Structure 1
Amino acid sequence: MVSGSVTSNEYKLHWAIPPTNASTSLNDWASSQRFQVGDTIRFKYKKDSVMQVTKEGYMQCNSSHPRFYSNTGKTRFMFDHSVPYYFISGTSGHCEKGQKMIAEVMTHDRTNNSVAPTAAMAVWLCFFSFTLSLVTLCQC
C-alpha cells in the first residue's frame, strides 16, 4: 500500500509572442519546470488562443487539428499523462514567431522521491552484476 499524498502544482504562464530581442523562449521556461501528472498550467492571454497539438502540428505550426483548444483568455490545462505536450497559439502567424512550447511531463513516483533508472544505468547495472558474478566464480 502506498502511504502519503501526491500534491499537484499550478503554473502560471503569460501566453504571448516572445519579444524579438528576448534572450529566453517559452521552451526555456517550460524546460526549467518539473511538470508531473496532475499539475496544471494556467495560460493567461488576450485576443489569442492556446492549442495542444501533435508533435507534427507543433513542428509545422499547424493548427488545423488541435487535440485541445481554448480562447477564453484564462485557460487551465491539466496534465493527465507522462508524455511531452505540444502547445501552439491558434492565432495566425503567432506560432511562427515563437509562441509555442513543449512541456515534458513526468509521472509521480509514489513510493519514494528517487528518479527512475535510465536505460544507460540499467545497462551499467547489468554489466556490474555480470562482473561481480565472474569475480565470485574466480574466488574458488
Structure 2
Amino acid sequence: MIFIISSFIITILFSNQLLQVHSFHFNVGDISGWIVPPKNDTKYYNEWASKNRFLVHDTIRFRYKKDSVMEVTEKEFNNCNSTRPISFSNNGHTKIEFERSGLFYFISGASGHCQLGQKMVVKVMSPEEDGNNRSSSSVLSGAYGGMAAMIHLALFCYFN
C-alpha cells in the first residue's frame, strides 16, 4: 500500500514538471544576424519577426559586428532616432528576455542603418493570447494520460 501511495505521489510530482511551459530562444535574423538588410528590403526584420511566435520569457539574441541594438519607443522607432533609448547594447551579442507582453521596438544604433531597414517590431504574447499554439496543450494531454495510466496501475495492484 505504501508503494502504491508513493508511486502515485511521484507520478503527480513528475506530471507537474511536464506541465511547465519553457521559453524559447531566437536568433534575430537567423544565420545572417543583426546586419543591414539586403538593398531595398526594409521589411526584412519585421518579416522575420512575424514568422515567429514570441511569448513572455522568450529570449531574442542579436549577433552583430561594429553595430549596436537599441530598444526604443514607437515614436523613436518611426523616426529612426533615439537620444534616450530604453536599452542600449554594443557588445556584439545582445540577449533580451521579454518580461511582459506587448510590442517591443528595436533599431540599430549605427548611423544610417535604421533608415536602411535595420529595425524591428516584436509582438510578445502572454500564454493566454497564444491560444495554445505553442503552449503545453499536447504536453498536458500526455501528462494527464500518463497520470491516468499510473493511477490505473496503482488501483489494479491494490485490488489484485
Q: TM-score range by the shorter chain?
A: 0.7 to 0.9
Residue in 2 that maps onto 1:53: 72
- 2:11 pairs with 1:11: no
Secondary structure of the 1:58 match is helix
Q: Which amino acid letter does the alignment assign opposite residue 97 of structure 1?
A: L
Q: Would you say the 8 A contact 1:15–1:45 is kept in 2?
A: yes
Maintained 8 Å contact 1:6/1:108: no
**Cα distance between partner residues in 1 of 2:43 and 2:110:** 21
Task: Give how far 1:63 is off.
Answer: 2.0
TM-score when scaled to structure 2? 0.65
Provide the C-alpha distance between the structure 1 equivalents of 2:24 and 2:99, rounded to a whole number of angstroms.
13
Note if 1:90 corresponds to 2:109.
yes
Identity %: 48
4+ runs of 1 displaced by more than 6 Å?
A: none
Relative to its length, the structure with more helix (as a share) is 2
CA change 1:24–1:54 in 2 (3 A) is closer
Paired AA for residue 87 in structure 2: F
Matched residue, 1:120: none
- RMSD between superposed Cα atoms in Å: 2.2
Structure 2 distance, partners of 1:65, 1:23, is 24
**Length, aligned pairs only:** 112
- CA 1:9–1:24: 2 relative to 1, 3 Å: same
The answer to whether 1:63 aligns with 2:82 is yes
Gaps of 5+ in 1: 116-140
Instruction: Classify the secondary structure of the residue corresponding to 1:103.
Output: strand
Could you say which structure has the larger radius of gyration?
Answer: 2
- d(CA) in 1 for partners of 2:41 and 2:133? 35
Q: Equivalents in 1 of 2:95, 2:84: separation in Å? A: 20
With the length of structure 1 as denominator, give the TM-score of the two structures: 0.74
